[in-house]
Amino acid sequence: MSSTYARFDTVFLLSRLAGAKYSPLWPSSSSSSSLLSSGIHLRAKPNSPLRSVTASSSSSGAIVSGSESIEIKSVPTKPIEGQKTGTSGLRKKVKVFMQDNYLANWIQALFNSLPLEDYKDATLVLGGDGRYFNKEASQIIIKIAAGNGVGNILVGQEGILSTPAVSAVIRKRKANGGFIMSASHNPGGPDYDWGIKFNYSSGQPAPESITDKIYGNTLSISEIKVAEIPDIDLSHVGVTKYGNFSVEVIDPVSDYLELMEDVFDFDLIRGLLSRSDFGFMFDAMHAVTGAYAKPIFVDNLGAKPDSISNGVPLEDFGHGHPDPNLTYAKDLVDVMYRDDGPDFGAASDGDGDRNMVLGNKFFVTPSDSVAIIAANAQEAIPYFRAGPKGLARSMPTSGALDRVAEKLKLPFFEVPTGWKFFGNLMDAGKLSICGEESFGTGSDHIREKDGIWAVLAWLSILAHRNKDKKSGEKLVSVADVVKEYWATYGRNFFSRYDYEECESEGANKMMEYLRDIVSKSKGGENYGNYVLQFADDFSYTDPVDGSVASKQGVRFVFTDGSRIIFRLSGTGSAGATVRIYIEQFEPDVSKHDVDAQIALKPLIDLALSVSKLKEFTGREKPTVIT
Ligand code: VG1
Ligand code: CO
């Protein structure tokens, strides 16, 4: 295959990464390394030879630089079934993504779905959580982006960018959008999951109107446009140009760190983290926040180097399941529950958008966490000095945040599960702080949930409360902050039961059965000791653009405010995962120290009997309880 690159110049930028050397981005004697010859899984069918299309002879989005051009190939392809995105992007087993044209089809379908002005000569961001297949995927995405006429790709060094960092970079660099290569909290490695998400120009996940269009286009796709350029060296910060197309490899941390410095008072946090009587631990779970934890917590905020555990991002997350909850972040939980354990512990997921927060022998539920951050934001976090504009949570998240909104007299929104539903409210200036029960917390500083932001928010609250404490004086602890909050607002006991990888048929039948009950239900009916207020299948109308999302979860709401909710996960890659969410409000302070599983036992039993879960799924026990 010929490789006639009209122009090839390399610009070196100063690397901010310690120890980075200035070396050429591309070996000058680079041989032809096309998408095909580099072993990447984008292959033409045997009897449909690749057709080379040059800029001058094609209207297929070729890039021309003066008289110079890069070659664009048209690769014939066929539709592939099942490329419908779920709650957050397209997720499948990595072996599925590695099949011929699987990823390439979806990327091309995406370009086919966007208005030309959203990508032609535009800047797009690319990064991911470092999982297995990201490197090959980066090259595929870059070549198809160039093939479709994208002007500039900003890619994280080694393909690394956390999900919140992608959102931050899109916003800061005024990019038109970005790709995130991650299956988030799903495990990675040759036998596990891979995923791809697309975010828009304000940094928010693409809305369903776009993802539905992409899916439609995957069903009729016939051609992939690929630029004939070599693989880009992602190991060094710098710019590579081919004609009018350029790839800039960026430091994954600096833009994000700068934003964090704007949002938070780093001196205040440094004051806490450098105290000898305050123990801190962050578990990066061998996932993407490993790249951020040391520069932020250690180098900038004075935490001890050994306070970061599992701090090196690995392609298979060290065989772990990078989901920061009590089950999968057990190592951290064990340390935090020791008598001499640290005062504050946190973990983040594969792509860095989730967080789990713990005190010594104390777990903060994500639903409480967002409420507590909201209640304390104005006094502890400079970004919220004027007070939050509004608060929001996903439907299954506990009602703790509702009470804060009521007390602070703030606009409040309840949206379906998935961060994409918060973006419009933020863009419209109606929402500042929001969260999901699934360990997602964030604000309008970006348009994704943000694990490190949540950790910094908690550290700010603790630092603010302890700033006048002398050495030797007892510090205000995580547990103190939470209990004080419960005493003021009451406690929303909350738990989620996950039944992972059930047979789809049984799980779907159970949901149908529940929908049927809901359609016949009436307020006032007795469910055990509870009286039904209403039951429905949650539907949401976006107050900004009027779009409607229906069938977002079956809920039974009782007259005392208790709720049981049923949903099927939209992020799994095999079978069906049933989620049951259980919540009960307790205003009585004397009952706040009861274990949540004990307090919620009657409701949990009710949920299991109402749904006939055992009958439909054959499951005796949940796989994960949070
Ligand atoms: C889950 C969570 C949801 C979250 C989504 C993406 O979705 O419940 O709250 O937004 O994951 O998180 P589902 O459909 O499986 O319940 V992440 O960190 O995986 O991007
Ligand atoms: Co995630």
pLDDT at residue 266 greater than cutoff 90: yes
Q: How many angstroms separate the CA atoms of 56 and 70, rounded? A: 10
Q: For 409-432, what is the mean pLDDT?
A: 96
Q: For 165-192, what is the mean pLDDT?
A: 96
Q: Whose CA is nearest to atom 13 of ligand 1?
A: 569
Query: Using DSSP, how many helices (H) and how many strands (E) does the chain show?
Result: 18, 31
Among 79-88, 89-98, 188-197, 597-606, the minimum mean pLDDT is found in: 79-88
Q: Whose CA is nearest to atom 6 of ligand 1?
A: 88
In this prediction, residue 574 carries a pLDDT of: 76
Which atom of ligand 1 lies closest to the CA of 577?
A: 15
Position 68 confidence tier, pLDDT thresholds 50, 70, 90: low
Q: For 436-453, what is the mean pLDDT?
A: 97
CA of 353 to the centre of ligand 2 (A): 5
Q: Whose CA is nearest to atom 4 of ligand 1?
A: 418
Residue from 184, 192, 571 whose mutation best tests the ligand 1 pocket (most atoms within 8 A of CB) = 571
In this prediction, residue 328 carries a pLDDT of: 92
Q: How many angstroms separate the CA atoms of 211 and 89, rounded? A: 8
Of the candidates 34, 162, 182, 184, the residue annotated as catalytic is: 184
% of the chain surpassing 90 pLDDT: 84
In this prediction, residue 561 carries a pLDDT of: 86
In this prediction the pTM is: 0.86
CA of 108 to the centre of ligand 2 (A): 24
Take residue 205 and report the two structure tokens written for it: 């996940």
Q: For 559-571, what is the mean pLDDT?
A: 91
Under a CB-based contact definition with an 8 Å cutoff, are residues 50 and 27 in contact?
no
H or E element, residue 558: strand 554-558
**Which residues make Cβ contacts (< 8 Å) with residue 499, sequence separation at least 6?**
507, 577, 578, 579, 580, 613, 617, 619, 622, 623
Cα distances from 111 to residues 62, 146, 171, 214, 436, in angstroms, run 14, 11, 20, 8, 30
Higher-pLDDT residue of 175, 67: 175
| Ramachandran category for residue 383: left, alpha or beta (phi over 0 → left; psi -120 to 50 → alpha) | alpha
SS (H, E, C) 519-543: HHCCCCCEECCEEEEEEEECCEECC
Q: How many angstroms separate the CA atoms of 432 and 276, rounded? A: 34
CA of 49 to the centre of ligand 1 (A): 41
Domain with CATH 3.40.120.10 in the chain: 63-251, 256-489
Q: Which ligand is nearest to the CA of 87?
A: 1
Nearest in space to 281 (alpha carbons), one of 351, 356, 349: 356
CA of 157 to the centre of ligand 2 (A): 20
Which atom of ligand 1 lies closest to the CA of 437?
A: 9
What is the CATH number that goes with domain 63-251? Answer: 3.40.120.10
Q: Whose CA is nearest to atom 2 of ligand 1?
A: 438
In this prediction, residue 32 carries a pLDDT of: 30
Q: How many angstroms separate the CA atoms of 363 and 353, rounded? A: 19
Position 511 confidence tier, pLDDT thresholds 50, 70, 90: very high
In this prediction, residue 40 carries a pLDDT of: 35
Q: How many angstroms separate the CA atoms of 186 and 235, rounded? A: 25
In this prediction, residue 607 carries a pLDDT of: 95
pLDDT at residue 51 greater than cutoff 80: no
Q: How many angstroms separate the CA atoms of 611 and 514, rounded? A: 6
Which atom of ligand 1 lies closest to the CA of 349?
A: 18
In this prediction, residue 552 carries a pLDDT of: 95
Among 48-57, 177-186, 314-323, the minimum mean pLDDT is found in: 48-57
Residue with tokens 């004051």: 271
**Ligand 1: lining residues by beta carbon, under 6 Å:** 87-88, 184-185, 349, 353-354, 394, 417-419, 436, 438, 440, 569-571, 579
Q: How many angstroms separate the CA atoms of 65 and 166, rounded? A: 29
Position 12 confidence tier, pLDDT thresholds 50, 70, 90: very low
Take residue 431 and report the two structure tokens written for it: 């929402």
In a 10 Å sphere around its CB, with 0-12 CB exposed, 13-18 middle and 19+ buried, how is residue 26 labelled?
Answer: middle
Q: How many angstroms separate the CA atoms of 295 and 311, rounded? A: 11
Position 396 confidence tier, pLDDT thresholds 50, 70, 90: very high
What is the CATH number that goes with domain 256-489? Answer: 3.40.120.10
Among 21-30, 174-183, 342-351, 553-562, the minimum mean pLDDT is found in: 21-30
CA of 164 to the centre of ligand 2 (A): 9
Rounded mean pLDDT of the chain? Answer: 88
CA quadruple 265, 161, 189, 572: dihedral, nearest 10: 80
- Known catalytic residue: 432? no
In this prediction, residue 336 carries a pLDDT of: 97
Q: Whose CA is nearest to atom 8 of ligand 1?
A: 438
What is the CATH number that goes with domain 491-625? Answer: 3.30.310.50
In this prediction, residue 69 carries a pLDDT of: 77
Which atom of ligand 1 lies closest to the CA of 419?
A: 10
- Phi, psi angle pair for 295, to nearest 5°: -60, -35
pLDDT at residue 5 greater than cutoff 80: no
Which atom of ligand 1 lies closest to the CA of 436?
A: 9
Take residue 156 and report the two structure tokens written for it: 């994280």
Q: For 380-402, what is the mean pLDDT?
A: 97
Q: Which ligand is nearest to the CA of 89?
A: 1
The single-letter DSSP state of residue 292 is: H
